[in-house]
Amino acid sequence: MAYLDKLECTFSYTIYDVIFSAQSQYVTLASQCSQPNQEKQMELLKPTSVQISAIQDYREKNRGSAFFNHLSAISESIPALGWVCVVSENQIILR
């Protein structure tokens, strides 16, 4: 992080803290409960979804940044957190 600060990268690291915390809470809950209905699942995934959107919006607002390629890599890879929606894979991984 100090290296990126020297490069004057302005991306907010708190977004990562929030999104990975939300992901961790969802995975913990999923390992302890049966699968909820689709409406409840969308509600539970909302914190993750909001942060994914925030990351993608940040990239779009900073197209002129010297770090745009880095922001693009992050914003294009972060939706991979949606792996929790793949039912068959989740059951194998969480058990």
Confidence of residue 58 (pLDDT cuts 50, 70, 90): confident
The reported pLDDT for the residue numbered 81 is 85
Query: In this model, does residue 2 exceed pLDDT 80?
Result: no
The reported pLDDT for the residue numbered 29 is 87
Q: Specify the pTM.
A: 0.71
- From residue 2, alpha-carbon distances to 5, 19, 63 in Å are 5, 21, 23
Burial degree of 49 (CB within 10 A; 0-12, 13-18, 19+): middle
Query: In this model, does residue 18 exceed pLDDT 70?
Result: yes
Span 49-77, mean pLDDT? Answer: 87
Domains parsed from the chain with CATH numbers: 2-94 (1.25.40.330)
Angle 8-70-51 from CA coordinates, rounded to 5°: 95
